[in-house]
Structure 1
Amino acid sequence: MSRHAFQYAVLRAVPRIDRGEFVNVGVILYCQALDYLHASVVVDPVRLRALAGDVDLDAVRTSAEAVVEACRRPEGTARENTGLAHTFGRLTAPRSTVVQPSPVHAGVTANPEHTLAGLLTRLVAPPR
């Protein structure tokens, strides 16, 4: 099985920008060689309310789901250095909003869908 380089960023919900505290709510994974760009999110209201009791859960969900949707409809291809690459760069650009991306990290994968699910479980899902 061939392995391919990928990049990913964790989506963080920051209910109070002034405090800088966050809860991981999703992962964006981009694999240029396979023209793969997907995001998955899991918004845990209990963990978010622990940081800010008055957090707007709908705003967090809407912002996180907008990232998922943006990954579903990019234009062009990664090989053209537009479309997927451009969309990943735009989604991982630093910002001061209720949902923010982490720095970009890299790895290798034979199955990006499986890797995305594993990252979501390891980095986002509530501890058991």
Structure 2
Amino acid sequence: MRTPYEYAIIQAMPRVERGEVINVGVLLYCHRRDFLRARTHLHPDRLRALDPGADVEAVRVALESWERTCTDAGTPSPMTQGERFRWLVAPRSTVLRAGPVHMGLAADPGAELERLLDLLVR
């Protein structure tokens, strides 16, 4: 049985003033399946194409924190999965941000997350 989910693309914007982004991950939340995960994949050459001086390692570490936040390991206080998802997709002016939230239907949220990562990031 397919259940509804929400997802957002995680984007890197190394030079905020220019507004150029690359897709570096996907955040997927499925309330009915008790599922919240982020999967990331950074292409260093794409990041450097936008900013030759970009700190690739710092971006990589920041992406890992998004993945930890989904498991409640990186949040400042106990939060539900829904609260963590909304916190991660909230607008921000940082090198990493989430794009708009989209909806979908899937039987297996984990497999859908991998499909979206392949389609939108890799």
Quote how far apart the aligned CAs of 1:64 are: 1.1
**Residue number in structure 2 paired with 1:46:** 45
Quote how far apart the aligned CAs of 1:6 are: 0.1
Alignment-mate amino acid for residue 105 of structure 2: V
**Residue number in structure 2 paired with 1:101:** 98
Question: What do you get for the CA RMSD once the two structures are aligned?
Answer: 1.0
Runs of 4 or more off by more than 6 Å in structure 1?
none
Name whichever of 59-68 and 36-45 sits farther off.
59-68
SS in 2 for 1:10: strand
Summarize deviations over 1:87-121 as a string: whole Å, max 9, x none.
00000001010101001000000000000000000
Structure 2 CA distance, aligned partners of 1:22 and 1:42?
14
1:92 matched to 2:89? The reply is yes
**Residue number in structure 1 paired with 2:55:** 56
Quote how far apart the aligned CAs of 1:14 are: 0.3
Checking the alignment, whether the CA contact within 8 Å between 1:9 and 1:28 is kept in structure 2 is: yes
Identity of aligned residues (%): 43
1:71 matched to 2:94? The reply is no
Structure 1 CA distance, aligned partners of 2:112 and 2:34?
15
Structure 2 CA distance, aligned partners of 1:60 and 1:24?
12
Structure 2: state its 5+ residue gaps: 74-78
SS in 1 for 2:6: strand
Alignment-mate amino acid for residue 64 of structure 1: L
Structure 1: state its 5+ residue gaps: 75-81
SS in 2 for 1:38: strand
Structure 2 CA distance, aligned partners of 1:107 and 1:88?
16
**Residue number in structure 2 paired with 1:28:** 27
Structure 2 CA distance, aligned partners of 1:96 and 1:30?
22
